[in-house]
Amino acid sequence: MAHLSTRDRLLTIIDDIEIISKEIIENLMAPKHQKTNDYLQLVDLLVVKDNEMKQLLKLAAEQTKIDEKINLLKEQVNKYDQEINQLQKQLKEAEQILSTAIFQAKQKLASIAKAKERPISSEELIKYAYRISASHAVSAPVTWQQGDLRRPYPTDIEMRLGFLGKTDLNINGHSLQAQTNVIDANRNTTGEIPASAQNQFAWYPSGELHMMSGHQSISLETNRSHKDASQDDASSDTSSSSSSDSQ
Amino acid sequence: MSQEAENQIDIVSVLSEIIRKFERYNSAVETKTTESQEVAQRVVELQKRINEAREQVKLIPGIDQSKPQQLEHLENLKKQLILKQELINKYKQYNF
């Protein structure tokens, strides 16, 4: 009985009352010789059941009030649940961000350690940076605009200014003197060519890279053999060799 | 709610009326037909009242459990509320 809900108990009592009522009515309807003496007992039982039902109804009223409190508490618990879920999501996001940051930091530390194993002086790095960017092959000069004749590769004019251009070779029937006059005319229009020609890189047919410094041509060693370098020295009057890292 | 339910589930009063009617039926000789009709009506009404009582009981909220079970449920919810409040305060205290 302790585990039966109040609803079940009420329904049981109603069933009992129904049965007792039917018994009483049958007793009333029966002819006199068939009537039993249970009539009074039935009536007493009915009264007892009725009282029980009234008690249970009072209990049901109390339980209804408690149920209202329970519903209020459930609403609050749901709100707290939502808040906790929200905080959990934020925590999860923070954990993800931190783990990514730690991973990247570890990678950076590894690359720092690797760099420390083979240190290079800043001077060397800057020299190399100058070397590779001197011909403006890495990025255009600051003053470069559309229509500027300068290019990131050796132009026709620069080739003529180089070793090949200064030889006695007569290309396409033009004399050497006429070619240099054309070059001078072009130089004046752009304005900056004289400045860049003083320190210009030029590729030679042999595959060597020469740095033009005024009238001097300095050959830079690439991956080619020294044999090519010695041939170039013989052919050039003003060339001098210097070794540098071309990596 | 309880007052309404009590009024509707007042079966005993209907039954007592039936008994009174029946006794009148038995004693009255001239109006037996009408009395018997009234008795029959009252019996039908009794049955109807009993069915209505059942329906009413099914609609009453909060009586799915016994009172001790309900009180235990209430206590558990209160504890849950306190624990969750503490958890939220703990989370909010951390400065990330």
**Token pair listed for A14:** 């109603």
Predicted confidence (pLDDT) per residue in A96-140, tens digit:
999 999 999 999 999 999 999 988 899 999 999 988 888 788 888
Predicted confidence (pLDDT) per residue in A153-198, tens digit:
888 888 888 888 877 665 555 555 555 555 555 554 444 444 444 4
Confidence of residue B92 (pLDDT cuts 50, 70, 90): confident
Q: Are A16 and A49 in contact (CB under 8 A)?
A: yes
Chain B environment of A76 (Cβ under 8 Å): 81
Q: Rounded to a whole number, what is the distance in Å from the CA of A44 to chain B's nearest CA?
A: 12
Residue carrying structure tokens 């009404």: B45
Hey, is the C-beta of A40 within 8 angstroms of any chain B C-beta? no
- C-beta atoms surrounding A203 within 10 Å: 17
What value of ipTM does the predicted structure carry? 0.78
User: How far does Cα A179 stand from its chain's mean position?
Assistant: 57
What angle (nearest 5°) sits at the alpha carbon of residue B83, between those of residues B81 and B86? Answer: 110
For residue A239, the model assigns a pLDDT of 43
What average pLDDT score do residues B30-42 get? 74
Pairwise CA distance, residues A176 & A161, whole Å: 11
pLDDT of residue B1 exceeding 80, the answer is no
From first CA to last CA, the distance across chain B in angstroms is 53
Q: Where are the alpha helices (DSSP H) in chain B?
A: 2-8, 11-27, 32-59, 67-93
What angle (nearest 5°) sits at the alpha carbon of residue A228, between those of residues A223 and A231? Answer: 155
What average pLDDT score do residues A2-6 get? 80
Average pLDDT value for chain A: 77
Q: Are A88 and B94 in contact (CB under 8 A)?
A: no
Model pTM?
0.54
What average pLDDT score do residues B54-67 get? 91
Higher local confidence (pLDDT), A80 or A28: A80
What chain A residue is nearest to B65 in terms of C-alpha separation?
A: A5
Distances (CA, A) of A235 to A207, A215, B87: 15, 15, 87
